[in-house]
Chain A
């Protein structure tokens, strides 16, 4: 049932916006025969997998290309992925901890959570789920750059929440995120109490503000295609300070799971970051609350009732579909989606075809199978696509070249040194970069955005480049095993070795694996010359040199 529905959806998307070739067919008495199915080429498969996983590898490219045509191949792949069980980050840590033989005063740390993340990014079968969770972690931001940064299990549990809800309903996701004690601490809803005139205390506005500004509706009213609604030439704010205050009153009375009125102030005693927060009615404000769009929460309700009404109000705001759809497109596919692309996805967000709003399964399918993704690199070759985040460039290299480690673990403990980003480690709730970041020059002049470039400063571009030098020249399995530290992560060049004496074949292979078939003749010639110039060097050095050049080239860094 689900599968049939998804195929219908895909066909709708594929035909709804292709070139308009079939718009007149409805008036003709005999329908034209359907166009012959388009077979998935290896380049198509690679492109699709680079959007939907942590990086295409050749075995997976070949498997997907073999599945036939785009109408069914992608959908079947997505549905198979959705059916896979979720790989848990908490479980990875639970299994890891006893093997480390930690001293009594030691505990798991940032580096272990990052290790869990790299392990799943590189090896988990549920790639799409993990990839979507990573996208969500850059929208529904919490960070270990905070007071609870040492709560490794709590943070991993938050990540699992995103993993588990990646194909669920956005309304449920929003509620789970809201009640997460990690989010509760990060944006101080945890412990937020009703007004107390005697002590001049009023409810904390932090979560009230950020859930709307960043997690759901944004600051100004939007059209379904993501453009800003205007009134007398001016944007229309979605809320004002009075609405923030009203929501701040809604989010009162929540604390760690199991907290009671008697234990409310006992932070250490109550502390539990694995179970959702629970309400303590005595600390909840029961007054009437005036939300946006004339929605009123009546007086004398429970904390739970208020929360559900408030989250329903937010979830049903018309902004959610374009606001969240656009950001998911930006995280997975392209920084500058056309309004039509946003509208198609937002329409599915509003109704998955069965009357359900917020179905992320349908939204993700719509994003990954849209005509724009299938044709964008051809129709808008100078603007379609996005700068690959450094973390995703690292996972791609390591997946494409079957990375392994003498330690049999992926101990990439502190990627932020090279990349200015690490999973759940943003400097603030606004993520590592803003979805609207536009550096001056060619991007800004053409009214485009390039969010990922906000962390690409001169200093970090250099460090990221150096990371790829370490991970190619000084990070491959051909190195002398006696000179390799146990925790290094090494690429395996075996798949390229049969091609080393045929530069054209070698570059054709890398064109599929790393460029999704987009390597131009000009680029190929530059790489060919560079490779042929190294003919005096040994094979691992020649291949490392070529891979390094590709990984730091702008043609690779832009994912199309």
Chain B
């Protein structure tokens, strides 16, 4: 062993190493490599008996269909705005309808948010949230010239909704793995004695939270559905429940077994979840009446139930559809941005009121960004896009990454 190796060996601190990997993931290209190497985390954490003495949660907001985030962060200064306007034409916001933001780190040009997002402008300016600029799946850093020479350096099936959704969720675009990074994380760090998954979905089945051994547990925005005729808390159901359990336990068909697994998970968790939700403090914040807000309200409720549920780590999945704006974008997209913005604003206030703001980090995912040019009244499938990251653990008021130079 050389002196050099010895030194490296000595100073190697596993925890810092992991930290540096995860920090590195907040970039355009390296998400897949960081989350691909989860076994490093396993080796540190698996040895601990009491795994965590604090609470942390992630909230993934999936914007289904491909958010046109180039109409979310928009150039505001005259010359760049002119370029933006000449490219986007009928889809461009009027310059007067943009509210400027002042990121800590200067971008190539000045930027603003559409007025529909003014609540988020406020959160950005007060440092509660940041943007991640121009992110999309890659296998490795590539140049335009390399792509033009050989398309196979890119992840397969770019521009296809479900494939690019998978890329974001697996963080492993080059492999057709049936697992997502939050699911693989749960496989490694979850307390297996707890019947409830640390991955909680308010938006149904998803790949992000699907691991090899762990699945998301699905809760509705309105809470947990109780069983009729099979509710164990009502004694006259006992014989029926016992018979159904026998049927589930003796079934040998593999697809039927998978169905039984879901039934068993529901049966094992409904009662505790329902009680936890009922006993959680009610929100003191008024949420807007949209689908995303209802889901985030349930997330806040479940996050404040984490002690009752014995979940020191939680990952939440929520979703909002309608972003595939091939049509009527000028009318529909501002409404979607308003839904995101008003929901996040209420959620942010609720987390603060519950004392969870520093522990819960919220971020957006979306299939892809969209074409800059218009198809008449909408846009088509693109690739990179901008994203929102919010929470007390975020160094807010800044834009990470660089907005594309096309406007400058």
B255 and A335 contact, CB distance less than 8 A:
yes
B161 and A533 within 8 A (CB) = no
A440 touches B376 (CB 8 A): no
Kindly state the separation between the CA atoms of A428 and B162 in the bound complex, as whole angstroms: 11
Interface stretch (choices A40-48, A313-321, A452-460, A502-510) = A452-460
Q: How far is the CB of B383 from chain A (nearest CB, A)?
A: 10
Q: Contacts of B262 on A, CB cut-off 8 Å?
A: 453, 456-458, 461
- A328 vs chain B, min Cβ distance (A): 19
A32 CB within 8 Å of chain B: no
- A448 on the interface (CB 8 Å rule)? yes
A96: B residues at CB distance < 8 A: none
| B284-299, CB < 8 A from A | none
CA distance A453 to B163 in the complex (A): 20
Q: Counting CB contacts under 8 A, is A332 at the interface?
A: no
Q: Is A463 an interface residue (CB 8 A)?
A: yes
**A187→B375 CA distance, assembly (Å):** 13
> Are A201 and B373 in contact, with the CB atoms below 8 A?
yes
Considering the chains assembled together, what is the distance between the CA atoms of A427 and B324 in angstroms?
Answer: 12
| Minimum C-beta distance from B240 to chain A (A) | 6
* Among A154-162, A188-196, A492-500, the stretch in contact with B: A188-196
Question: Taking the complex as formed, is A466 at the interface, i.e. its CB lies under 8 A from any CB of chain B?
Answer: yes
Q: Does A523 contact B (CB under 8 A)?
A: yes
A209 in contact with B86 (CB, 8 Å): no
With contacts A381-B253, A428-B321 taken as known, whether A191 is within 8 angstroms of B376 at the C-beta atoms is: yes
Q: How far is B218's CA from A420's CA once the two chains are assembled, in angstroms?
A: 13
Q: Scoring A residues 446 to 490 as 1 if CB is less than 8 Å from chain B, else 0, what string do you get? A: 101010011111111111011001100100000000000000000
CB < 8 Å neighbour of B227 from A193, A454, A462, A554:
A462
- Chain A: number of interface residues, binned into ranges: 35 or more
Point out the residues of chain A lying under 8 angstroms from B248, CB to CB. Answer: 553-554
* Other-chain contact of A557, B88, B225, B256 (Cβ < 8 Å): B256
Residue of B nearest to A196 (CB): B376
Q: Judging by beta carbons under 8 Å apart, are B252 and A381 in contact?
A: yes
| CB-CB contacts below 8 Å: B186-221 with A | 201, 204-205, 210-215, 217-220
Given contacts A147-B328, A205-B381, A456-B262, A442 and B376 within 8 Å (CB-CB)? no
A428 touches B157 (CB 8 A): no
When each residue 426-451 of chain A gets 1 if its CB lies under 8 Å from chain B and 0 otherwise, what string results? 01101000100111111110101010
Chain A 376-394 interface residues, beta-carbon cutoff 8 Å to B: 381-383, 385-387
Interface bits B131-149 vs A (CB < 8 Å: 1, else 0): 0000000000000000000
A440 contact from B213, B321, B327, Cβ within 8 A: B213
Please choose the segment from A122-130, A233-241, A287-295, A351-359 that sits at the chain B interface, where 4 or more of its residues have CB less than 8 A away: A233-241
- Bound together, the chains give a CA A433 to CA B222 distance in angstroms of 23
Of the candidates B88, B211, B327, the one having the most CB atoms from chain A within 10 angstroms of its own CB is B327
Contact of A454 among B88, B157, B205 (CB under 8 A): B205
Partner-contacting stretch, out of A363-371, A408-416, A544-552: A544-552
The answer to whether A205 and B375 touch (CB under 8 A), given A427-B321, A457-B262, A459-B218, is yes
Cα distance A448–B243 when bound, in Å? 28
Residues of A close to B211: CB separation below 8 A:
440
> B163 and A219: CB pair below 8 A?
yes
A466 to B226, CA, bound (A): 9
As a 0/1 sequence over residues 322 to 335 of chain B, the CB contacts with chain A under 8 angstroms (1 = contact) are: 00101110000000
Are A443 and B258 in contact (CB-based, < 8 A)?
yes
B302 interface contact, C-beta 8 A: no
How close is A556's CB to chain B, nearest CB, in angstroms? 9
A213 at the B interface (CB under 8 A) = yes
Decide if A558 is an interface residue (CB 8 Å cutoff). yes
Distance in angstroms between the alpha carbons of A450 and B65 in the assembled complex: 24
A529 within 8 A of B: yes
B77 interface residue per 8 A CB criterion: no
Question: Given the interface contacts A209-B159, A448-B254, A557-B259, does A192 sit within 8 Å of B376 by beta carbon?
Answer: yes
B327 touches A462 (CB 8 A): no
Q: What's the Cα separation between A560 and B217 when bound, in Å?
A: 28
B266 interface hit (Cβ, 8 Å): yes
Q: What residues of B have a CB within 8 angstroms of the CB of A205 in the complex?
A: 326, 375, 380-381
Q: A527 within 8 Å of B by Cβ?
A: yes
Q: Is B269 an interface residue (CB 8 A)?
A: yes
Chain A residues with CB below 8 A from B326, complex form: 187-188, 204-206
Contact of A67 with B by CB under 8 A: no
Using known A-B contacts A440-B212, A457-B204, A549-B243, determine if residue A199 contacts B374 with beta carbons closer than 8 Å: yes
Please tell me if the beta carbons of B220 and A440 are within 8 angstroms of each other in the complex.
Answer: no
Q: Which B residues touch A523, using CB under 8 A?
A: 247, 250
List chain A residues, Cβ under 8 A from B178.
Answer: 438, 440, 444
> Which residues of A from 214 to 273 have beta carbons under 8 Å from B?
219, 234-235, 237, 240-241, 244
- Does A30 count as interface, using CB distance less than 8 angstroms? no
**Interface residue B82 (Cβ < 8 Å from any Cβ of A):** no
A204 with B376: CB separation less than 8 A: yes
Contact flags A530-548 to B (C-beta < 8 A → 1, else 0): 1001100000000001001
Bound-state CA distance A439–B213 (Å) is 10
* A449 CB → nearest B CB, Å: 9
Q: Give CA–CA (A202, B372) in the complex, Å.
A: 11
Residue B230 lies at the interface, judged by CB distance under 8 Å to chain A: yes
Q: B374 and A201: CB pair below 8 A?
A: yes
Q: In the assembled complex, which residues on chain A have CB atoms less than 8 Å from the CB atom of B225? A: 459, 462-463, 466
Are A382 and B254 in contact, with the CB atoms below 8 A?
yes
**Proximity string of chain A (146-178) to chain B, C-beta cutoff 8 Å, 1 when within and 0 when not:** 010000000000000000000000000000000
Please tell me which one of the listed residues A145, A192, A234, A455 contacts residue B375 in the complex, with CB atoms under 8 A apart.
A192
Interface string of B251-280 (1 = CB under 8 A from A): 111111111111101100110000000000
Q: Determine the residue in chain A with the shortest Cβ distance to B220.
A: A459
B244 with A459: CB separation less than 8 A: no
* CA A185 to CA B328, docked complex, whole Å: 11
Q: How far is the CB of B321 from chain A (nearest CB, A)?
A: 6
Which B residue sits closest to A207, measured CB to CB? B326
Min CB gap B136→A, angstroms: 15
Assess the B156–A456 pair: CB atoms within 8 A.
no
Interface membership of B239, Cβ < 8 A: yes
Let me know if B384 is at the binding interface, CB within 8 A: no
Residues of A within 8 A of B90 (CB): 199
The answer to the question of A522 belonging to the interface, with a C-beta cut-off of 8 Å to chain B, is yes
CA distance A382 to B265 in the complex (A): 22
A453 and B254 contacting across the interface, CB-CB below 8 Å: no
The reply on B246 being an interface residue by CB < 8 A is: yes
> Cβ of A203 < 8 Å from any Cβ of B?
yes
A557 to B256, CA, bound (A): 7
- 7 inter-chain pairs at a CB distance below 8 angstroms, sorted by A residue, are A188-B327, A204-B327, A240-B151, A442-B261, A457-B218, A465-B229, A558-B255
A-B CB proximity, top 6 nearest? A457-B218, A554-B256, A530-B243, A204-B375, A469-B229, A458-B266
Given contacts A441-B257, A552-B230, 11 further A-B contacts (CB under 8 A): A191-B377, A205-B380, A335-B255, A439-B205, A448-B254, A450-B255, A458-B270, A461-B263, A466-B227, A470-B228, A530-B239
